[in-house]
Amino acid sequence: MVGIVVDQMRYDYLTKFWHRYGEGGFKRMVNQGFTAKNHHFNYVPTSTGPGHASVYTGTTPSVHGIIGNDWFDKNLGTTVYCASDDSVSPVGTNDAAGKMSPHRMITSTVTDELRLATQLRGKVIGISLKDRGSILPIGHAANAAYWFHGKSEGAWITSSYYMEELPKWVQDFNASDAAEKYKTVWNTLYDINTYTESGSDINDFEGKFTGEATASFPHDIPKLWDANGGFDIVRITPFGNSLTTDFDLAALEGEALGIDADTDFLAISYSSPDYIGHKFGVNSKEVQDNYLRLDKDLERLFNALDQKVGKGEYTVFLTADHGAIHVPAYLQSVKIPAGYFDVSAYKEKLNKFLLKEFETDKLVRYMSDDDIFLNHEVLAEIDEDLDDVLETIANEIITYEGIFQVYTSEQLKTQNYTRGLPYLLQNGFNHKRSGDLLVVLTAPPPVLPVRLARCCRS
């Protein structure tokens, strides 16, 4: 089994660039497999951590507990990262980037069930530039998760949750300086003038690499290297996909996957599309070039599977953990309602109201743009009923500019929503981990945002 998650892949990237794809990548999956065109997300939030966990657990954040990439931990009194784990040690580096595990995910995955069904004989390996992209899909009982540590190291690493030392094949891969070859200029794969499916190369809506005058091609990666985190810049180029594929093929060989009678599972997450989408926006030439190049990496992966595992001896699925919207400033420029929410002003206004209404500035423990955690000890001290306080705050917030809807934890715990935004929010609401109030900003997503899904038997 090979599971592929393309981080931030919108469904329309498949149809939009279809005529530029080769026959061995995306088109092979569609033409030789099954295409699910009506898959939908049934929860909010749709971000990397919840997305990967939901694909592989088959349930929602309300159950598997990965309610965000980061969230406020009520017991610890601080924010936590979905994959962080101070109880484990880095392996392959001395950096804290290696202190990761799946311990915050509270359900099993399909990969866990495979390990149980094969008496742990079936191997499960996770690979991604992002730690959470490799760790969450493979569950708790996996053989190994590997993620990329950039900066000055440029190495694939793991944690002591999985092993005490990197296997020789990983050590050999890192020693080969495989990432070094991607310290090269990023220009378009084809003539940029033929990239008519995306916007202009020079515009006011894209982010630039540090040291660039404009966010336009070509991107001189060697020149930009030091100012952009060394090997970290590779993540924000299609070369990150190529490096991931290189490591996938090394794992296929090094772990002898798919050779014996017990089913193995290789879980791959391509993270560079997400980094590129955030940096340049979904309408950029960079995003288009990324997918044309990713198509070739997929073909390279499938050809290797044909040769080493055998046609008809493996199953591949491809999906996305979430999509992405256009840059709000671009939407504004073409008169489509959009904008930016001033979180600082929102917090300041609400805090002033709470001080006036409840005569304390300690009522809120933590607040972001989409959730509010109350201090229940202070609530008890001022002798206020939780439901009344939540309703009072909700009625105040809903009057603010930029706020579309507000739901209380009591509503999400007691009601049974079956459609619309409250249904999505309820599936993303975990009773122990989520906030006391959930806030939805103006210009909400479609009621059921589409999830890309592909399956191919080969």
Per the residue annotation, which of 46, 48, 319, 408 is the catalytic one? 48
User: What contacts 149, CB < 8 A, 6 or more positions away?
Assistant: 92, 93, 95, 97, 98, 155, 156, 157, 231
User: What contacts 200, CB < 8 A, 6 or more positions away?
Assistant: none
Instruction: Specify whether the CB–CB gap between 111 and 1 falls below 8 A.
Output: no
98 in helix, strand or coil? helix
Instruction: Specify whether the CB–CB gap between 48 and 128 falls below 8 A.
Output: no
Which contiguous run of DSSP H or E holds residue 2? strand 2-6
Active-site annotation holds for 315: no
For 24, 80, 127, 141, 163, the CA distances from 101, given in Å and listed in that order, are 35, 13, 14, 11, 12
For 358, 376, 380, the CA distances from 386, given in Å and listed in that order, are 12, 8, 9
Neighbours of 189 (CB within 10 A): 16
Instruction: Specify whether the CB–CB gap between 125 and 3 falls below 8 A.
Output: no
Beta bridge partners of 317: 3, 455
Q: Beta strand pairing status for 155-159 and 265-270?
A: unpaired
Active-site residues, by number, are: 48
